[in-house]
Amino acid sequence: MKKRTCSIVISENKVTLYFVRHGETQYNVERRMQGFCDSPLTEKGILQAKSVGKGLSNIPFIAAYSSDSQRVQDTAKYAIGDRDIPLVIDKRLKEMNFGVLEALLEDEIPKLHGDALEKLFSLDINASAPEGESYAQLFTRTEEAVKEIVEKHASEGGNILIFSHGVTIGNYIIQVTKSKEFQVHENCSVSVISYENGQLNVEKIADTSYRNEGSKQLT
């Protein structure tokens, strides 16, 4: 567990955020760059979403938030199922904008744009795809959204679902923990961050146990 003083908000009561990456999509299968562009969940992706929802079913949630990308909204709806959890759509939780690399196959990018992908994956805070946004810009909007969510629920406390994207979630964790290591977030993996008494605690990163346990219960 990583702890640090929380500079963005002081929560009166413990607020725990469960960040969930969306389920597998068609572009994931094809290995296309998928940021602002979108593609539908595959059958496997739908099952992953239902599975992570099942795996989280014993945890009481007071609210849920989702990126405005359709793949994430669909993941949220499959995961929440018939549970009475209000869902709010927030475009600031969207994936990184990959600019001219959007929808391109990863293998064809070197031929079209040289070392653009290599530079992007360097994780330099100011790195960006051509005509895309930088990690710093991505963090600014993500942090703004998370701050508002935590402040909104600070007086009551509780558990909150946030459905988003792999790079968005991973970059947020890197920036708030000052880490140099990016952990791959599998589809429907869960990262848990809590806020309490001015402390931000990273409790889980890219944990697949909720999805895996839920899958066992569904089959």
Q: Is 171 annotated as a binding residue?
A: no
Catalytic residue check, 95:
yes
What global pTM score does this model have? 0.94
71 annotated to a ligand binding site: yes
pLDDT at 5: 45
Catalytic pick from 30, 43, 95, 181?
95
H or E element, residue 61: none
Q: Which of 165, 190, 164 is nearest to 56 (CA)?
A: 190
Dump pLDDT digits (tens) for 31-69: 999 999 999 999 999 999 999 999 999 999 999 999 999
In contact, 96 and 35? CB cutoff 8 Å: yes
Pick the CATH number of 2-27+41-97+134-218 from 3.30.70.260, 3.40.50.12780, 3.10.20.30, 3.40.50.1240: 3.40.50.1240
Structure tokens at 44: 């496997």
Is 23 assigned to a binding site?
Answer: yes
Residue 12 predicted with pLDDT over 80: no
CA distances from 66 to 7, 28, 117, 219 (A): 24, 19, 27, 27
Known catalytic membership, residue 22: yes
Summarize pLDDT for 87-145 with one digit per residue, the tens. 999 999 999 999 999 999 999 999 999 999 999 988 899 999 999 999 999 999 999 99
